[in-house]
Amino acid sequence: MLMRMRRREFGQMTAVVAALAAMGLAGCGGSGSSGGRDGEVTLEFTQWWEPELPDGALRALMDQFEQANPGIKVELLSGPYASTKEQLVAGAAAQTMPDVVGLDGAWVSDFAKQGAIADLTALMAEQGYDDSELASQIQIDGATYMIPVVNFVYPMFTNMDLLEQAGVSAIPSTREEFESAAAAIADTGEDISGWALPLSLEAPNGIQNDVMSWVWASGGSMLTEDGKPNLQGNADVKSACEFIKNLWDDGVISPGAFTMKEQDKVEDFTNARVGMMIDSLAHVNTIREGNPDLEFGIAALPAVSGYTGQRGMPYASWGIGVSGTTEHPAEAWKLVEFLMSADTNAVLADDAKAFPGNSTATPDYVEDDELFKQAFEIWSSGTPANEFTGLPVSETLMRKFDEQFQSYLSGDIDVDTMLANAQQAWDEEF
């Protein structure tokens, strides 16, 4: 049976679990939860949220939960997004998923098909839960497998000092303005780039957040009306890819893009090595703590010139689910219910600087911080857009597109060949 992991062991165990899973040796089913003395239950809660929240914020909420639920303890297993995904993928394969799991919508279809996460519709019915206050639910074949706890808009972040040094007077609002600003920023120093583009195949969510977001920003779609792949011959997708290729050929994208992950992009921006990035509002705290002197702004993603419709706003959620093999489903649900209650959800949204998953929760930060006022305006004036959420094998779809996109950027194939190859690869998965 897989040993329970403490926080300090999380990163080390990720590789071990993956290796064991590949050999078929990682566990004999069931989750890593345990029963303590006198019937006490310890729930393992794996997520990437704790490192992105103010120090001690998530633990404080778990302490409140434990006080309100004597006999239940919560052990937080925390790590960066990419490490969390790797650990959960390994746990799903080995049937050793922790009791409660932080989820990205892109993972839900795969985990649900594996039986790694529980049918929450059935669990809510068993527990007599009224779901009327839930702002949204991620479903597969009519059953809920993930509940978005908080939601993050992905605006464009801009280093205002670098913009000023580059002689750019305003945050770009069109693709042409963005391209011009990126080139001007890159000219300010040898170690400065205009834009960060993470395209790691290990964590290919850059295709979602940093590539397809340009399509959605101008009202485009990568899917047909019935939800099937629509890449080949799609003028909106082709235009976005050609736009990024121009940036690549101009040398304004930060080096190492093919192996860059989201956390690398944030680090580069925090340390003023890149002037602009598309990123989650969740990282505002990380950026401010990492570089208190950094002056940065946010804005909606630039659209094609002449576009007057609502801008598609990339977003992502901190979703939550329950292990399909937990020995303590009732206790695990109590933790989910606690996090989705109006008061707790408002506190978590405040701490994360996100929008709450409980429709009646009201975070205070929107009125307390000018940057987040802007974020709320961006969110309110746009249309939430993330077409990967809930798609089958969405991580695989991102990776297959990423492989073709890297070949295109490298000059090995043209844009039409890239989209044709990606279309074929996606069709095979559907």
Across 123-230, the runs of DSSP E, i.e. the strands, are: 138-140, 143-153, 156-159, 193-195
Return the pLDDT at 32: 52
Return the pLDDT at 237: 98
pLDDT-flagged residues of the chain (< 70): 1-38
Return the pLDDT at 17: 39
Q: What are the pLDDT digits (tens) for 224-269?
A: 988 899 999 999 999 999 999 999 999 999 999 999 999 999 999 9
In sequence order, which ranges of 358-393 are alpha helices (DSSP H)?
A: 365-368, 370-381
Return the pLDDT at 135: 87
Q: How far apart are CA 238 and CA 142, in angstroms?
A: 33
At 97, list the tokens: 């998923």
Return the pLDDT at 393: 84
Q: What are the pLDDT digits (tens) for 103-128?
A: 998 899 889 999 999 999 999 999 99
C-beta of residue 42 within 8 angstroms of C-beta of residue 75: yes
At 176, list the tokens: 């042409």
C-beta of residue 156 within 8 angstroms of C-beta of residue 300: yes
List, as one string, the DSSP characters of 207-229. IIIIIHHHHHHTT--SB-TTS-B
Return the pLDDT at 33: 56
The fold of the 156-299+392-429 domain, in CATH, is D-Maltodextrin-Binding Protein; domain 2 (3.40.190)
Check if 7-152+316-375 and 156-299+392-429 are the same fold.
yes
Return the pLDDT at 214: 98
- Listed residue (46, 72, 31, 92) closest to 320, CA to CA: 46
Q: What are the pLDDT digits (tens) for 54-73?
A: 999 999 999 999 999 999 99
Return the pLDDT at 34: 57
Domain spans in the chain, listed from the N-terminal domain onward: 7-152+316-375, 156-299+392-429
Q: How far apart are CA 369 and CA 138, in angstroms?
A: 30
Q: How far apart are CA 180 and CA 256, in angstroms?
A: 22
The fold of the 7-152+316-375 domain, in CATH, is D-Maltodextrin-Binding Protein; domain 2 (3.40.190)
Return the pLDDT at 1: 30
Return the pLDDT at 3: 31
- pTM above threshold 0.75: no
3-state secondary structure the chain: CCCCCCHHHHHHHHHHHHHHHHHCCCCCCCCCCEECHHHCEEEEEEECCHHHCCCCHHHHHHHHHHHHCCCEEEEEEECCHHHHHHHHHHHHHHCCCCCEEEECHHHHHHHHHHCCECCHHHHHHHCCCCCCCECCCEEECCEEEEEEEEEEECCEEEEHHHHHHCCCCCCCCEHHHHHHHHHHHHCCCCCCEEECCCCCCCCCCHHHHHHHHHHHHCCCCCECCCCCECCCCCHHHHHHHHHHHHHHHCCCECCCHHHCCHHHHHHHHHCCCEEEEECCHHHHHHHHHHCCCCCEEEECCCECCCCCCCCEEEEEEEEEEEECCCCCHHHHHHHHHHHHCHHHHHHHHHHHCCEECECCCCCCHHHHCHHHHHHHHHHHHCEEECCCCCCCCHHHHHHHHHHHHHHHHCCCCCHHHHHHHHHHHHHHHC
